[in-house]
Amino acid sequence: MDNQRLIKDLLYEQVSRLAKAVASPKRLELIEVLCQSSKTVEQLAHDTELSVKLTSAHLKELKAARLVRAQRDGKYMIYELVDNHVADLWVMLRELAEERLLELQHAMQQLVARPDELKPVDSGDLLARAQRGEIVIIDVRPGAEYRFAHLPYARSLPLDELRQRLNELPADKTIVAYCRGPFCLMANEAVDLLRKEGLLGIRMESGVAEWRLQGLPLVVESLGQTLG
């Protein structure tokens, strides 16, 4: 085998390290959760319904592929994505799978199908309507994820607080709920609750990772500014 062939094989082998790192349903879910904010191992284990030991093992693989990084904060290890390119990889991989895999399309229809959902293509119009006060956008993720980054004009109403805070929402406007993206069920649960209480709730499919990839603005409260 000549030297050029050896070099080419090495190049493909290095790229394949990323493919191997994300070739796990739970590692993909960990990436999706880390798109929302940095988290401890314990928080990630809770969000993905894994043991701390197994979560740590998956994070070790993602770290070895330079997809996540960690820093110690007292007795806790805090993990975050290396950069937004990792979030973009997740969104593009998921969108490609939705486009090509009939099994995924069928599962999505069963999981989140609603005839009146707002899709990501409506995002620009959504902002304009929210700015004019025609609709109310609520972010039903945990508060820490909202503070890390959220959609403009969105109010933080975490799912576990929503029932107690329904009086903060107008009865005469459409309430648009979003969470972590298309695979996340928190917005579905929020819409079900809103409708049971007589409010007009609809779900938006996009989360912050999808929003960012579209080049649309996000509010980062820690920086006190809007990006995008």
Tell me how long the chain is. Answer: 228
Task: Map residue 168 onto helix, strand or coil.
Answer: helix
**How many other C-beta atoms are found inside a 10 Å radius of the C-beta of residue 203?**
25
Sequence-separated (6 or more) residues with CB below 8 Å from residue 36: 141, 145, 148, 149, 180, 207, 208, 209
Strands (E), the chain: 39-40, 68-73, 76-81, 135-139, 154-156, 174-178, 201-203, 218-220, 225-227
CB 201 within 8 A of CB 190: yes
35 classed as catalytic = no
Pick the catalytic residue from 45, 140, 154, 179. 179
The C-alpha R_g of the chain, in whole angstroms, comes to: 19
Task: Map residue 139 onto helix, strand or coil.
Answer: strand
**How many other C-beta atoms are found inside a 10 Å radius of the C-beta of residue 208?**
28
Among residues 64, 36, 65, 39, the alpha carbon closest in space to that of 50 is found at 39
Q: Report the DSSP pairing between strands 76-81 and 68-73.
A: antiparallel
Tokens 């990501």 belong to which residue?
120
State the catalytic residues: 179
